[in-house]
Amino acid sequence: MYLTKSAIEKLLDNKQLIIRPLLDKQTQLGEVSLDLRLGQDFLVSYLGRDVSIDATGETRNRPLHIFFDETRRIVGEAFVFHPNQVVLCSTLEYIRLPDNVFMSLTTRSSYSRLGFSLSTVVQPGYCGCISIELTNTGNVPVKVLVGARLLQARFFKMESSTKYLNTDRKYLCQVRPQVSKAPEDTEFKILKSLVNTTPNLP
């Protein structure tokens, strides 16, 4: 079920839900949502010497972060999102979710109307700043202030708890945007071995 304002406040008060910093609770906390801010660190994709990004898990390929330039801003500075450029950023807030609450994250409608779209789910028990990928799908560059309330989070309470800490350690306690860890998927080996074993059906 959706958590309402009073339920979110209760979680915050008894420190089951951690949002740090929560600069302006009054403004950020809505009836069924909480606004989150754009963080200070960015990874911007650029065209390097490699012809393509290889997400097939070939170990001899170069790590994905070489396709991104790291850049930092101070809160209150502007960041320009160029059309169709993938920008990895993160929330300004460091978040820790309770073990029985997951969070859906979308761009606030005022930013969606500028051409941004994002929709992602954050697992129960997650802790860290949340990496998000933003693309300006419009055809003019858009300047956004670092620290602006770009995102809207909604919280869903579940019947039972899960233990996030036991699974996804690589993404744990991050404070900067992270590149895709797709090449580290363990099932790639299995998938590739299927090439030789799948019978050629007529």
Residues labelled as active-site residues: 133
Out of 104, 174, 178, 180, the residue judged to bind other proteins by CB under 8 A: 174
- Binding of other proteins by 21 (CB under 8 A): yes
Please choose, out of 47-55, 74-82, 154-162, 178-186, the segment that lies near other proteins by the rule CB under 8 A.
74-82
User: Within 10 Å of residue 120's Cβ, how many Cβ atoms?
Assistant: 13
Cα-based distances in Å from 103 to 12, 34, 95, 140: 14, 10, 11, 31
Spell out the residues 6+ positions from residue 120 whose beta carbon is closer than 8 angstroms to its own.
104, 105, 106, 130, 132
Tell whether residue 202 is a contact of other proteins (CB under 8 A): no
Find the binder of other proteins among 10, 20, 113, 181 (CB under 8 A). 20
Q: Which region, judged by CB under 8 A, interacts with other proteins, from 47-55, 103-111, 149-157, 166-174?
A: 166-174
182 near other proteins, judged by CB under 8 A: no
Check residue 12 for interaction with other proteins (CB under 8 A): no
Strand bridging mode 119-122 / 101-107: antiparallel
Q: Which is nearer to other proteins, 72 or 113 (CB)?
A: 72
Nearest distance from residue 15's CB to other proteins, in Å?
9
CB of 146 to other proteins, least distance (A): 10
Identify which range of 43-51, 79-87, 125-133, 135-143 contacts other proteins by CB under 8 A. 125-133
C-alpha 106, offset from chain centre: 10
Q: Please say whether the beta carbons of 108 and 162 come within 8 A.
A: no
Residue of 118, 135, 136, 146 whose CA lies nearest to 37: 146
CA distance 12 to 66: 38
When asked if residue 185 is in the footprint of other proteins (CB under 8 A), the reply is: no
> Among the residues of the chain, which ranges form H helices?
5-13, 25-28, 109-112, 188-197
Is the Cβ–Cβ distance between 105 and 36 less than 8 Å? yes
Q: Does 71 bind other proteins (CB under 8 A)?
A: yes
Which residues lie near other proteins (CB under 8 A)?
A: 18, 20-21, 23-24, 40, 70-75, 77, 92, 94, 96, 127-129, 165, 169, 172-175
